């Protein structure tokens, strides 16, 4: 029997084929709609696999197995793609002047389909295939706007992925085929079987290579330098997919290969937790000083990814120790997975909202935005929900998963992991600071220059609200996800997290939180407060400016860049210290490009093309050159000959031509006679 996933993939393929509709709006709307259908089918598949306790089969001939772990990530694919696809139907109108709807249609649908395959296929060969397809289609989407700065971002992304993802993955294919003895036998179970008896050197190579692959894709410090440029470069609906889903596939990979397949490794656990701590700190503190709303969100994706890795690292480090520590480890893993789901929801929602503001006002610059709260009420509330969720304010979903990560860290009995929990709690406050800025800089105050701004179309609002509403829903009813997530932890580690839960509460051992009671309590208290002290209003006035007549009302505010200036100055050493990560990343891209350029120049010398005069040593220099394709290069001598022949022939008069013909014919006759 065919899996439902197969129909989902078919829907995505048809969505891609919608590129044949020639009209821009028809294409984007139809392809987004089919992506929407596909996402619904993906979610049905998630439910089906959950109720059956895992399914296997084939999707268009690819071997697929959906176990508890795959299911968690397939859910992420489904839910974020659902919101994004619905949102795209209207949002893509914003980019109409760019044309190229068919590119969008193909790449967008391929991107979602490839991510669904990445988390479900059951064979390393197909995993690498889907992974590369995902990288390629996301690259096309990042570069789709074709603005100068975006080109550089997409280039950086592609080179980084090429070097740190593709090369290690192909090495891993080789490693896998050496292990199993055949390139055609790379199913997960076969690799796992052979890996169990492999030597430590093989195992270490396996751990290490996969760690690099997934660090790069997840944007883990110090390999995160591509992410804050690449994510904002894409259209917002795609950014939601990039931050919501794509970087999570790296978490899936880490759990699938480095843990479930190769077995838990305590050292690796501490490494993963350490990378998580570094990443959450660096990502979030950089986000704090960002004033471009999409870059801010992208940095937070780095930061939140750190939380997920910290949770997983705690699990990986503690589970092998057994006993109570294993229970706490399982809680860490559970919390990491939970945070992955939660992050997908609120970050998806936030990118869609940044897209809405961009749609309505045409800018993502927090310094210039403001006063949209009264104009775009629906978007404002959705943003507020998602912002509170990512800041971990109860009773939103981000609170629950962060709280479980703290609990796991503080109870780990290890100073290092407890330090991680301390940093996580600290960074949670930094996240709050950053999102207070994100929300208030866009929606706070009142501004004249955005007087005519109107709320975005209904499809976009619904797209946002699917994800923003989920943040509150999951936060209030986390119990729904407990057994779903526990299937995932079971598939990874063979342990279930001992999370106690029912309709009212979620907890671990003696600590618990009752989100439903909490929200009812807050509601009741607000009601009592409001009812007993009902606000009474006098007249409306302009804000008090101390009687000055000189201050212009628009500028009478604190701009987004200055909110936490004093704080940023005081921790300036931190920024100075971590800026090396950027120079590191820049240097990597620079040197890889240098090697490529050298190879290119070497071949250029052979085929003799006009690049010689210009000094090509960097990407910028390449931009200045005229584009020449490889076939042009090879055929160039022939073309040149034909051109000469044409010029010579074109210049000949009739008499000369006749004379020449006579001579040539005579020569041929002579030759024939002579022979």
Partner 1 sequence: MYESLALKIAGIIVMVLLPPYLDGIARRVKARIQYRRGPPLAQTWYDLRKLFAIPTVLPTKSWMFKAAPYLALASALAAALLLPYGGHVPVNFGYNIIVFFYVVAMVSVFVMLGGFSVQNAFSHLGSAREMTLLLTVEPILAVVYGVFAYNSGSLNLYHIMTHLHLSASLLFAYIILGYALYVESGFVPFDVAEAEQEVIGGPLAEYSGRLLGVFYYAIYIKRFALLWFFVSMVTYPIVGPVHGLAKSVGLFALQLLLTFALYPIIAALEATNARLRIDHIVRTNVKIFFIGLGILAMAFMGW
Q: Which two tokens stand for residue 188?
A: 């997960």
Nearer to partner 1, 521 or 664 (CB): 521
Which residues share a beta bridge with 500?
Answer: 507
Decide if 237 contacts 91 (C-beta within 8 A). yes
Burial of 204 per CB tally in 10 Å (0-12, 13-18, 19+): middle
The Cα–Cα gap between 362 and 93 comes to 13
Quote the least distance from Cβ 476 to partner 1, whole Å: 12
Collapsed DSSP state (helix, strand, coil) of residue 547: coil
| Residue 334 CB, nearest approach to partner 1 (Å) | 16
Alpha helices by DSSP H, listed for 221-370, are: 227-233, 236-241, 247-253, 266-288, 293-318, 323-361
User: What span, in angstroms and rounded, lies between the C-alpha atoms of 504 and 516?
Assistant: 6
Min dist. Cβ of residue 301 to partner 1 (A): 20
Rounded least distance, CB 488 to partner 1, Å: 24
Q: Which is nearer to partner 1, 514 or 616 (CB)?
A: 514
Alpha helices in 96-164 (DSSP H): 101-118, 124-142, 148-161
Nearest to 318 by CA among 126, 500, 493: 493
Nearer to partner 1, 259 or 465 (CB): 465
Cβ-contact 28, 101 below 8 angstroms: yes
Helix (H) or strand (E) holding 260, with range, is: none
Please tell me the distance from the alpha carbon of residue 389 to that of residue 381, in angstroms, as a whole number: 12
Minimum separation from the CB atom of position 165 to partner 1 (A) = 35
Whether residue 621 contacts residue 615, with contact meaning beta carbons closer than 8 Å, is answered with: yes
Q: Where are the alpha helices (DSSP H) in 53-123?
A: 68-91, 101-118
Minimum CB–partner distance for residue 384 and partner 1 (Å): 8
Of the pair 178, 565, the CB lying nearest partner 1 is at 565
* Closest distance of CB 376 from partner 1, Å: 12
Smallest distance, Å, CB 445 to partner 1? 4
Q: Which is nearer to partner 1, 187 or 461 (CB)?
A: 461
Distances (CA, A) of 410 to 332, 420, 422: 11, 9, 8
- From residue 497, give the alpha-carbon distance in Å to each of 253, 352, 477, 512, 665: 20, 33, 18, 14, 93
Length of the chain: 675
Nearer to partner 1, 151 or 381 (CB): 381
Shorter beta-carbon distance to partner 1: residue 155 or 406: 406
| C-beta closer to partner 1: residue 565 or 658 | 565
- Nearest distance from residue 337's CB to partner 1, in Å? 20
Q: Is 635 helix (H, G, I), strand (E, B) or coil?
A: helix
Q: How far is the CB of 410 from partner 1 (least distance, A)?
A: 4
Q: How far is the CB of 403 from partner 1 (least distance, A)?
A: 6
CA dist., res. 53 & res. 605, Å (int): 60
Smaller CB separation from partner 1, 174 or 565:
565
Name the residue nearer to partner 1 (CB basis): 418 or 581. Answer: 418
- Exposed e or buried b per residue across 1-34, where buried means at least 16 C-beta atoms within 10 angstroms of its C-beta: eebbbbbbbbbbbbbbbbbebeebeebbbbbbbb
Question: Which residue lies nearer to partner 1 by CB, 25 or 505?
Answer: 505
């Amino acid at each position: 029997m065919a899996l439902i996933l197969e129909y989902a993939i078919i829907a995505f393929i048809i969505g891609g084929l919608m590129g044949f509709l020639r009209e821009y709006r028809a294409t984007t709307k139809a392809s987004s709609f089919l992506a929407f259908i596909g996402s619904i089918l993906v979610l049905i598949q998630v439910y089906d696999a959950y109720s059956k306790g895992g399914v296997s089969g084939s999707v268009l001939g690819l071997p697929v197995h959906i176990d508890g772990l795959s299911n968690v990530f397939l859910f992420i694919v489904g839910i974020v793609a659902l919101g994004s696809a619905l949102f795209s139907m209207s949002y893509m109108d914003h980019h109409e002047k760019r044309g190229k709807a068919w590119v969008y249609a193909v790449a967008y649908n391929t991107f979602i389909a490839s991510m669904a395959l990445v988390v479900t296929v059951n064979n390393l060969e197909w995993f690498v295939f889907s992974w590369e397809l995902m990288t390629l289609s996301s690259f096309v989407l990042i570069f789709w706007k074709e603005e100068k700065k975006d080109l550089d971002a997409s280039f950086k992304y592609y080179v980084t992925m090429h070097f740190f993802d593709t090369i290690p993955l192909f090495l891993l294919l080789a490693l896998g085929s050496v292990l199993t003895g055949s390139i055609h036998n790379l199913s997960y179970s076969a690799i796992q079987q052979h890996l169990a008896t492999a030597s430590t050197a093989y195992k270490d190579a396996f751990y290490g290579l996969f760690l690099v692959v997934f660090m790069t894709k997840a944007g883990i410090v110090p390999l995160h330098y591509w992410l804050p440029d690449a994510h904002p470069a894409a259209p917002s609906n795609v950014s939601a997919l990039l931050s919501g889903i794509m970087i999570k596939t790296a978490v899936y990979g880490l759990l699938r290969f480095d843990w479930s397949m190769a077995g838990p490794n305590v050292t690796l656990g501490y490494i993963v937790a350490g990378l998580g701590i570094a990443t959450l700190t660096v990502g979030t503190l950089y986000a704090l000083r960002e004033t471009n709303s999409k870059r801010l969100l992208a940095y937070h994706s780095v930061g939140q990814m750190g939380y997920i890795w910290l949770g997983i690292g705690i699990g990986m480090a503690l589970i092998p120790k057994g006993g109570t520590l294993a229970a706490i480890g399982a809680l860490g893993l559970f919390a990491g997975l939970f945070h992955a789901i939660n992050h997908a929801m609120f970050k998806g929602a936030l990118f869609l909202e940044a897209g809405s503001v961009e749609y309505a006002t045409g800018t993502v610059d927090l310094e210039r935005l403001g006063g949209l709260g009264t104009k775009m009420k629906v978007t404002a509330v959705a943003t507020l929900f998602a912002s509170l969720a990512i800041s971990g304010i109860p009773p939103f979903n981000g609170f629950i998963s962060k709280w479980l990560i703290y609990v796991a860290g503080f109870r780990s009995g290890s100073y290092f992991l407890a330090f991680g929990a301390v940093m996580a709690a600290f960074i949670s406050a930094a996240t709050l600071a950053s999102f207070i800025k994100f929300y208030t800089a866009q929606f706070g105050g009142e501004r004249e220059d955005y007087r005519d701004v109107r709320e975005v179309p209904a499809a976009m609002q619904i797209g946002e609200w699917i994800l923003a509403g989920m943040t509150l829903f999951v936060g209030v009813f986390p119990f729904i996800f407990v057994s779903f997530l526990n299937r995932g932890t079971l598939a990874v580690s063979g342990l279930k997290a001992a999370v106690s839960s029912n309709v009212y509460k979620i907890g671990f051992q003696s600590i618990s939180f009752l989100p439903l009671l909490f929200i009812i309590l807050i509601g009741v208290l607000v009601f009592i407060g409001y009812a007993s002290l009902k606000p009474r209003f006098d007249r409306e006035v302009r804000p008090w400016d101390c009687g000055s007549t000189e201050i212009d009302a628009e500028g009478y505010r604190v701009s987004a860049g200055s909110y936490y200036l004093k704080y940023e100055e005081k921790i300036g050493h931190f920024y100075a210290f971590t800026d090396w990560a950027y120079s590191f990343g820049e240097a990597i891209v620079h040197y890889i490009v240098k090697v490529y350029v050298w190879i290119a120049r070497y071949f250029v010398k052979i085929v003799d093309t006009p690049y010689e005069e210009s000094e090509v040593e960097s990407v910028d220099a390449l931009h200045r050159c005229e584009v020449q394709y490889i076939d042009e290069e090879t055929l160039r001598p022939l073309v040149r000959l034909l051109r000469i022949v044409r010029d010579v022939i074109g210049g000949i008069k009739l008499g000369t031509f006749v004379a020449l013909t006579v001579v040539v014919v005579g020569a041929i006759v002579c030759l024939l006679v002579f022979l």
